[in-house]
Structure 1
Amino acid sequence: MTDKRRSITRRHTLGLIGGALAAPAYIRDLHAAEVTMRLSHMLPPVSPMHSQVLEPWAKEIGEKSEGRIDVQIFPAMQLGGKPPQLADQVRDGIADIAWTLVVYTPGRFPLSETGSLPFMVTTAEKTSVALHKFMEEMGMDEYKGVKPLAFHAHAPGKFHMREQAIEKAEDMKSLKIRAPNETFGKALEILGAEPVFFPVTEMAVGLANGVIDGTLLPYEVVPVFKLQELTSVHSAAAPVGRGFYSNTFNVLMNERVYEGLPDDLRAVVDDHSGVEFARRIGANFDAFEEVGRKLCEEQGNTFVEVPASEVENWRERVQPVIDDWIAMLNDKGIDGAHAVERLNALIDAEST
């Protein structure tokens, strides 16, 4: 080998060593994670929640921990069980983290579920921030044995109807409408509709066969179920007040896993949880709405806006649903009137 070739080879070798030393630690230690966490959720990997919220969040945790935490995501219940079992799976250590839908276990987390009452939502972002603050103030005892990382809501649900536009309560008379949760089902009944309860996975067949006349969901789910083809008219509340409903969710972590982390890694988790994580998830859910609405527009469907005055009229009429909820909270030893009043106040404060 000539002296010149020896010099080039030596410089190349030293360059590689120097490059490795200069590379970020999380790249050097990519395969040497100290902690591996399994995150479970109910949706397929094509869902926006998976691809645009959970995957980026897990990647950030890995980067900020310099590769010492590896969050592995298991969508579509790949760790087994059914969606209502997710909270227990976290508590029992089957999953280390889970994203769960509160109304899948009605009555079990009543303060969390208060955010799913009729007319408790403005935007997903603002409502999520209010809900997280509310839970930090009043609801953490519901989650003994787990570490809540965020509470959030989806964007306001809309009526997606096969034929009938919903603009006033009389338009719902005798229509079969899939209810998104138990309390809004009671509200629909008061307003004249016939609420129907079955899993969202069966909804598309129900619409296609005419078993139901419509459903209540955010635009976010339109692409998943091709609602733009199964329905022809969409009714939303005027954006100046409260929406019809939202369902509430949480991101939970096994408490033993959280407490067992070294202080610096626990700080990474803390920095990526809390009210700002709730805000981030809510903002994403607001953005998801545009995709679904655009598909309905491209289909040539009709859009109806329910005036704010009509929404307030509905809200007053369904007050017995809220009163029943307050009584249920009272029976559980919770000041129900204060809880509902406080969450409303926080939502109003975030939305002004």
Structure 2
Amino acid sequence: MTTFTRRAALASMGAALATPALMKHAHAAEQTLRVHHFLPPQAPMGKFFETWAAELVEASNGALDVQVFPAMQLGGKPGQLADQARQGVCDIAWTLPAYTAGRYLLAETIGLPFMVTNAEKTSVAFHTIMDEFGTEEYKGLKTLAFHTHDGGKLHTTKAPILSAADLEGTKMRAPNQGTGDLLAALGSEPVFFPVSEMVVGLTNGVIDGCCLPFEVVPAYKLQELTKYSSEAAPGARGIYANPFAIVMNEKTYEGMSDDLRGVIDANSGIELSQRIGKDFDAAEAFGRSVVEKQGNEIHQIPAEEIARWAEAAQPIHDEWVVKLNDAGYDGQAVLNRINELLDAG
């Protein structure tokens, strides 16, 4: 079977073909890498992975053939992505630790309420604490980047959220356990399901709103499903940010030639985390413009109200310190270090 025929067969099974830039070098490839993620290809991270894959091909002079499979095209569920990379279902995966709550405790820490400024700065802080405290957390995997999105907003269908009183009696899609605990403390009923299932929840009225950054809005046309967005006032930290990790099968990485490992190393690490964070900040601005163009209302939650919410979140942080301690970390030292990095000029 020719290379073209094999690719055609993959396409017929619903797999994504490599970009033209990748196919140009396919005949010379020494190593094929499959990248798997859960978002649609038109989402900002979907576009990023196509660009990054092409960069790996170019940097390797075509010795790498990098194929990107968005929207779980290799099968499984988003919470299985890290294991898929570990087991060789794919070679590289983009994972969300919140989808396997309690398994990657250190990585989840950055997802606690009010642990985010902007995406770029928070991504650098996240990668730094993983380097300093979490080198053993992703055993069996080569970690390539750790990053976050910008601070999440509250997008609702019936009324804006300006205080805890506005949350009472609502059902809100929570992005992770810590944010869900905060919503519950403020009087809302948190509902948990992946972002890919959120459209159905909003359409059917199962939820009254969701916690998300603006950058996700265009990919799922959430501006058409919600009418109001509420964000922390300028100067206050964002309500939350989900942490993400790009991980690689360790055996695949170790089995590559020195030159190809060098290509991976040169295109990963804290610089990649910072780059992705910066991209997320740009995508956040675009997503906001889409919401504004739709005519939806964007409200700011007053700083004094956010301060009350942060006080309500303190028990959540305290409980997390105990969890980290039980897992063998110095929990308070971890939180102190994150706050130090986020507060640094």
1:210 Cα deviation after fit: 2.9
Residue 208 of structure 2 corresponds to residue 213 of structure 1: yes
Distance 1:38 1:28, change over 3 A: closer
| Amino acid in structure 1 at the alignment position of 2:174 | A
Residue 40 of structure 2 contacts residue 219 of structure 2 at CA under 8 Å; is this kept in 1?
no
1:29 Cα deviation after fit: 5.5
Distance 1:322 1:252, change over 3 A: same
Over 3 Å off, 4+ runs: 26-30
Residue 82 of structure 2 corresponds to residue 82 of structure 1: no
| Amino acid in structure 2 at the alignment position of 1:287 | A
1:243 Cα deviation after fit: 0.1
Query: Match of 1:151?
Result: 146
1:75 Cα deviation after fit: 1.4
Residue 110 of structure 2 contacts residue 241 of structure 2 at CA under 8 Å; is this kept in 1?
yes
Q: Which deviates further from its counterpart, 112-121 or 90-99?
A: 90-99
Distance 1:220 1:29, change over 3 A: closer
1:27 Cα deviation after fit: 10
SS at match of 2:299: strand
TM-score, L = length of structure 2: 0.90
User: What is the correspondence of 1:7-22 to structure 2 with a 5 Å cutoff?
Assistant: none
User: What is the correspondence of 1:34-73 to structure 2 with a 5 Å cutoff?
Assistant: 34-51=30-47, 53-73=48-68
Query: Match of 2:158?
Result: 163
Larger radius of gyration: 1
Q: Deviations over 1:21-44 (max 9, x none)?
A: xxxxx9995521111111111112
SS at match of 2:328: coil
Query: Match of 1:14?
Result: none
Query: Match of 2:125?
Result: 130
Query: Match of 1:17?
Result: none
Query: Match of 1:312?
Result: 307
1:83 Cα deviation after fit: 1.2
Query: Match of 2:194?
Result: 199
Gaps in structure 2 of 5+ consecutive residues: 1-21
Residue 32 of structure 2 corresponds to residue 33 of structure 1: no
Q: Deviations over 1:255-313 (max 9, x none)?
A: 11112222222111111000110011111111111222222212211111112332122
Distance 1:260 1:315, change over 3 A: same
TM-score, L = length of structure 1: 0.88
Identity %: 56
Residue 222 of structure 2 corresponds to residue 227 of structure 1: yes
- In 2, Cα distance between the equivalents of 1:28 and 1:96? 21
SS at match of 1:318: helix
Query: Match of 1:3?
Result: none
Q: Deviations over 1:190-239 (max 9, x none)?
A: 11222222333332233233332211111112122222121111101123
Distance 1:207 1:82, change over 3 A: closer
